[in-house]
Amino acid sequence: MTIVFASSGDPRPRLVARLVAEGNLPTDLAEPVREAAAASRFSGKTGQVFEAFVAGEASLSRLALAGIGKANGADRLAALERAGGALAAKYLTSGETVLGIDFAGSALTATEAVAVLLGARLRGWRHDVYKTRLTDEQKVSLTSIVAIAAPEGADTAWATEAALAEGIEFTRELVTEPANVIYPESFVERCRARFAGTGVDVVVLDKAALEELGMGALLGVAQGSVREARVLALRWKGRAGARPTAFVGKGVTFDTGGISIKPAGGMEDMKWDMGGAGAVAGTLLALALRKAEADVIGVVGLVENMPDGNAQRPGDVVTSLSGQTIEVINTDAEGRLVLCDVLTWVQRTYAPATIVDLATLTGAIMVSLGHEYAGIFANDDLLASQLDAAGKASGDKLWRFPLSPAYDKLIDSPIADMKNVGPRFGGSITAAQFLQRFIGEGIAWAHLDIAGTVWADKPGATHDKGATGFGVRLLDRYVRDVLES
């Protein structure tokens, strides 16, 4: 969906929306429209949409009223995004191709106006590539939004948010694609194509390179699949001098559980087990497109976990890149095996000051938090607080969990340095404890378990059912507030 800014004298679209604060219905509306709005109980609450048809000189036009909530309410920007999202949801398949949003008289700032546009664009994203039998009424018709009488500076501010939107949409695309389309090799090639010309340096390690390095943990997960493993590194160097920040993503493009196979019901959802890798790729795209003044490396470990005759077995011992040995108790606890080697490699190769990893790592985090928050584990209180603040500001919310030696001992192995799972209870914590063993001294590190947030079974305010793009807004906000400040 494209966003354009109208110039004075441009013809108005047939469909125009006006923004209404709660309890503040515009006085210049025709009396029948005001009466109809009141009769339908439209009051301007956040997300409400009312529509009327208005007779013009030659034809009917469509007028929409979108509620933006209280003029000075809490979470103001989120409410404005929700208003834009509500408009996009209502008119996405309406038959209209253009929606005008008239900001005249709304008293919104440039930042607030852009929030409305961002919400509309994000909610308007759909992935209908494989739907060949949609009726006209089911097809997306809305292709552009025209900002009318936008506040001064809104067009400049939108350029930054448009880059963020592209990053989120790229993440959603990667997460949505089926596993026969997106697998380690094709994930890399899609990123190569998308990052061409952006200024991002792309480094790819193939199976031979991974074997030469000694990434035994990552390769152990991949050995049951005909799809070869890859490690992909994306570097945006928008600032020189300081040690870089690394974002690391789990990229299990499909997870059967391996020999410890998952139940059949719902296994199709495991195409999104690469949600962390998708978020890292989308974040780097957003940073590059908006020319962020930061030195950021995104590294993703890409594998497919399959129950082939060559797959690793429960009880196998693998040697990680760090030299530490791991007893594989459960082959469905594969994400941490992928991440541990990637974490070691990024530290040795780029010497980052800070590492944030994102992974759809445990079902236990969904038991704890449902789908509203992602879990955060950190060895540094300042980093944890910075990410928490970024989560609150962006809407990608986090909830902190503990790390402690009391949990660490639960993954000690009798025959290796560690085992890849602990007992039933505290599963998300023991997974984080496992990863912490691969973090070097003096490095600020946070692990985000995003298993409950990358996919939605029903539409939200700014996303349709399916991939949410979780993580991109969080990391982008962290970069803005911490690295670019």
Asked if residues 102 and 148 have their Cβ atoms less than 8 Å apart, the reply is yes
**336 is a catalytic site residue:** yes
What angle in degrees, to the nearest 10, is found between the helix axes of 184-195 and 275-289? 10
Asked if residues 22 and 61 have their Cβ atoms less than 8 Å apart, the reply is no
Distance CA 443, CA 446 (A): 10
Rg of the chain taking only CA atoms, in angstroms = 24
Residues 6+ apart with CB under 8 A from 45: 22, 67, 69
Residue of 14, 70, 239, 262 marked active site: 262
Residues 6+ apart with CB under 8 A from 367: none
Per-residue DSSP letter, 12? P
Distance CA 115, CA 122 (A): 11
Residue of 336, 419, 477, 480 marked active site: 336
What are phi and psi for residue 186, nearest 5 degrees?
Answer: -75, -30
**121 is a catalytic site residue:** no
Q: Is 286 helix (H, G, I), strand (E, B) or coil?
A: helix
| Cβ burial, residue 379 (10 Å; 0-12/13-18/19+) | middle
Task: Report H helices in 443-485.
Answer: 472-478
Residues 6+ apart with CB under 8 A from 480: 292
Copy the structure tokens of residue 437. Answer: 């063993």
User: In sequence order, what are the beta bridge partners of 317?
Assistant: 327
Residues serving a catalytic function are 262, 336
